[in-house]
Amino acid sequence: MNSELYRKLVDLYAGRELPTELEDEMDLASFRDSGLSREMHSLRKTVDFLRADRGPEFTEESYQRILMKLYARGANIQPRAPEPLHLQYHLPINV
């Protein structure tokens, strides 16, 4: 195969979506072409890192911070869920 075809298959190589025979052939081709080798291995490391990442954590604190920013900018938002009770102040009642 020619080098152009290998460069087109790098994204499939990085995602481990190629058949074993073709992946082995690409590994052999990467020994002859240092640019192809660098691209294959850096992209595979990036894909592996992104797959291992759990993503951002959206907590109640994040939700309230975003809601306050929207209110400060004048947005009229009515959340579907009622506000959590821990955001309300409890006043002592003297009888």
Residue 6 pLDDT: 87
pLDDT at 69: 93
At 42, which amino acid appears? S
CB 18 within 8 A of CB 26: yes
Segment-wise mean pLDDT, segments of 10 residues, the chain, 95 residues: 84 92 91 92 94 89 90 83 65 74
Question: Which burial class, exposed, middle or buried, applies to 88 when counting CB atoms under 10 A from its CB (0-12, 13-18, 19+)?
Answer: exposed
pLDDT at 45: 96
Q: Where are the domains of the chain?
A: 1-78
Q: According to the model, what pLDDT value does residue 77 have?
A: 79
pLDDT recorded at residue 1: 65
pLDDT value, residue 78: 77
Q: Which two tokens stand for residue 65?
A: 């911070």
